[in-house]
Amino acid sequence: MIETTIHTRAGGTVTVPGTTLETLRQSVSGEVIVSGDGGYDEARAIWNGMIDRRPAVIVACRNTRDVQAAVRFAVEHDLLTTVRGGGHNIAGSAVADGAMMIDLSRMRDVRVDPKRRVARVEGGALLSDVDAATQEHGLAVPLGINSTTGVAGLTLGGGFGWLSRKHGLTVDSLISAEVVTADGRRVVASKDENEDLFWALRGGGGNFGVVTAFEFRLHPVGPEVLSGLIVHPFEDAPSVLRQYRAFTEQAPDDVSVWVVLRKAPPLPFLPEEWHGREVLVLAAFYAGSMEDGEQALQPVRDIGNPIADVIGPHPYTGWQQAFDPLLTPGARNYWKSHDFTELDDGMLDTVLERVAALPSPECEVFIAHLGGATGRISPDATAYPHRATRYIMNVHTRWSDPEGDTPCVKWARELFEAAAPYSTGGVYVNFMPDDEVARIGAAYGPNYDRLVELKQRWDPDNRFRANQNIRPVTEA
Ligand code: FAD
pLDDT 10s digits, 283-321: 999 999 999 999 999 999 999 999 999 999 999 999 999
Q: Check pLDDT > 70 for residue 410.
A: yes
Entry pTM: 0.97
Alpha helix ranges (H) inside 7-103: 18-27, 40-44, 64-77
User: What mean pLDDT comes out for the span 413-437?
Assistant: 96
Query: Which one of 46, 50, 80, 84 would you pick to mutate in the ligand 1 pocket, going by the greatest count of ligand atoms within 8 A of its CB?
Result: 84
pLDDT single digits (tens) 225-261: 999 999 999 999 999 999 999 999 999 999 999 999 9
CA distances from 337 to 59, 288, 448 (A): 33, 30, 19
- Mean pLDDT, residues 386-407: 96
DSSP label at residue 163: T
- Give pLDDT, residue 190: 98
Distance 390 CA to ligand 1 centre (A): 21
Question: What's the 136 CA to ligand 1 centre distance in angstroms?
Answer: 25
| Å from CA of 18 to ligand 1 middle | 33
Residue 144 has pLDDT above 90, yes or no: yes
Mean pLDDT of 438-467: 96
Provide the percentage of residues in the chain whose pLDDT is more than 70. 100
pLDDT surpasses 80 at 1:
no
pLDDT confidence of residue 476: 64
Pseudo-torsion of CA 130, 134, 138, 143, nearest 10°? Answer: -30
Dist. CA 107–CA 204, nearest whole Å = 22
Buried b (16+ CB within 10 A) or exposed e, 2-16: eebebbebeeeeeeb
The binding-site residues of ligand 1, defined as CB within 6 angstroms of any ligand atom, are 46-47, 82-90, 93-94, 104, 123, 144-146, 149-150, 152-154, 156-157, 159-161, 205-206, 210-211, 327, 430, 466-467
Return the residue whose CA atom lies nearest to atom 1 of ligand 1: 87
Helical axes 237-249 vs 290-301, angle rounded to 10°? 140
Atom of ligand 1 nearest to the CA of 88: 52
Whether 281 and 230 have beta carbons less than 8 Å apart is answered as yes
pLDDT for 71-89, tens place per residue? 999 999 999 999 999 999 9
Q: What is the mean pLDDT of residues 144-155?
A: 98
> How many Cβ atoms are within 10 Å of 449's Cβ, its own excluded?
12
Separation of CA 92 and ligand 1 centre (Å): 9
Measured between alpha carbons, how far is 122 from 111 in angstroms, rounded to an integer? Answer: 9
User: What pLDDT is stored for residue 74 in this prediction?
Assistant: 97
Count of helix runs (H) and strand runs (E) in the chain = 14, 21
Instruction: Output the CA 15–ligand 1 centroid distance in Å.
Output: 31
How high is the mean pLDDT of the chain?
Answer: 97
User: Given a cut of 80, is residue 475 above it in pLDDT?
Assistant: no
**Ligand 1 nearest-atom number relative to CA 149:** 52
Give one DSSP letter per residue of 371-440, joined into a string: -GGGGSS-TTTSS---TT--EEEEEEEEESSGGGHHHHHHHHHHHHHHHGGGS-S---GGG--TT-GGGH
